[in-house]
Chains A and B, each alone.
Chain A
């Protein structure tokens, strides 16, 4: 059932391209997130050439090795891919039902939940550079992270699980026949 849905969606190359573009966008965002200030600074520099600026930005992608643990790098890549797949499947589902679907239960909320949870897990939890630290810090609760066995990486893993569930739920809906319900 799950494989059939995937095949159905990716029969059309446009969905494959869409998934890839979304996955790349999420990945770029996740890796460059800690250094947005640097990038904004660089882009505003008049004395550096565009080539130099691009070289700096591209070199920051190497931080997937240095600024992530094996676990956080893995779930960052997974979240990007799964989110791309999930959005494509959702769009396919909405289009294929030609507008007969109910808004409730379309799976969008679960997908977004997965992405939000994933974003919370981005960064170095142990060093306070990830987003969850900043949010907890607003409430003076950063110390909570030190009690988590994986130091906050749990949120990224939860993000992956929610996205897998969202894809499964969407796949099930794609396969379900069009029926009138009371």
Chain B
């Protein structure tokens, strides 16, 4: 009799253990989801020192209005705008850069899509180079214009091993030469610090929209509906999101 009771108790314990395991696994999953949710992050632990964070409330609705001060590829008046927050030393930003170039060539320069490039250098992960390259890209834009900015970004991503391993002195000068950017003007600009505020504003906006890592993007529909997009997503996913955003 006692044996039967013990067996039953053990049976129940065994089942309880499986149940507890499932609950624990569920809690881990819930915890993981919470960690990836974007609306309760006080600031970006990964990003380079955000200066403000909208009182701790992050939302894609905080995305800064797209203006002529932004770097825009595609149709600036497009129905759908993909605002990408990118780090030149992030390998997945490199991948997304190629994918978004493909998106713009598919939809065309006058099509329904605009790609807006904003800076989000992750100083804690790429302390050596990320911000320097962001500054370099702004200096190229200042000296040689918008198309030079995009050519610089394409060339840099094509020649960088990423993850802060890029030898900037070896990679950047040939790109500048190819773009016809005067080295002395570039050096003066890079040392002036006059683009620091713009880069910081981009970082702050990335954090305010919920960005915690790169690549981080916000897709904006014609009526202002926003869609968060984390990571380097495949072109098919981006096409589908564009199609959904277009009718909002």
The interface size bin for chain B is 35 or more
Which label, helix, strand, loop or mixed, suits the secondary structure of the A interface? helix
Q: Decide: B36 and A37 in contact? CB cutoff 8 A.
A: yes
Q: How far, in Å, is B214 (CB) from chain A's closest CB?
A: 5
Q: Can you list, as one digit per residue, whether each of B120-154 has a CB less than 8 Å from chain A (1) or not (0)?
A: 00101111000000000000000000000000000
Beta-carbon contact of B87 and A143 below 8 Å: no
A:122-158 near B, CB below 8 Å: 122-124, 126-131, 133-138, 140, 142-143, 145-146, 151
CB distance from A135 to the nearest CB of B (A): 7
User: In the complex where A56-B240, A129-B214, A137-B212 touch, is A103 in contact with B90 (Cβ < 8 A)?
Assistant: no
Closest chain A residue, CB of each to CB of B9: A99
Q: Which single member of A34, A100, A131 contacts B10 (CB below 8 Å)?
A: A100
Contacts of B45 in A (CB 8 A): 128, 133-134, 136-138, 140, 142
A88-136: which have CB < 8 Å to B? 90-91, 94-95, 97-101, 103, 106, 108, 111-112, 115-116, 119, 122-124, 126-131, 133-136
Question: A42 interface residue, CB < 8 Å from B?
Answer: yes
A36-B33, A45-B244, A66-B95 known; A127+B214 contact, CB < 8 A: yes
Give the A interface residue count (CB, 8 A).
63
Stretch at the interface among B18-26, B76-84, B110-118, B179-187: B18-26
Q: Are A119 and B212 in contact (CB under 8 A)?
A: no
CB pair A124 B229 closer than 8 Å: no
Is B162 part of the binding interface, using a Cβ–Cβ cutoff of 8 Å? yes
Q: Please, how many angstroms separate the alpha-carbon atoms of A145 and B155 in the complex?
A: 27
> Whole-angstrom distance between the alpha carbons of A140 and B96 in the complex?
27
Which stretch from A1-9, A57-65, A74-82, A168-176 is at the chain B interface? A57-65
B15 on interface, CB distance cutoff 8 Å: yes
**A–B complex contacts, Cβ < 8 Å, 22 sampled:** A34-B231, A35-B229, A37-B210, A37-B228, A38-B227, A45-B244, A47-B248, A66-B231, A67-B92, A87-B21, A90-B18, A99-B7, A101-B10, A101-B14, A108-B18, A112-B28, A116-B28, A126-B125, A128-B46, A129-B214, A129-B230, A134-B35
Known: A42-B244, A126-B162. 13 other contacts (CB 8 A): A35-B233, A37-B228, A38-B227, A53-B244, A67-B95, A69-B91, A97-B14, A108-B18, A108-B21, A127-B90, A128-B122, A133-B213, A142-B46
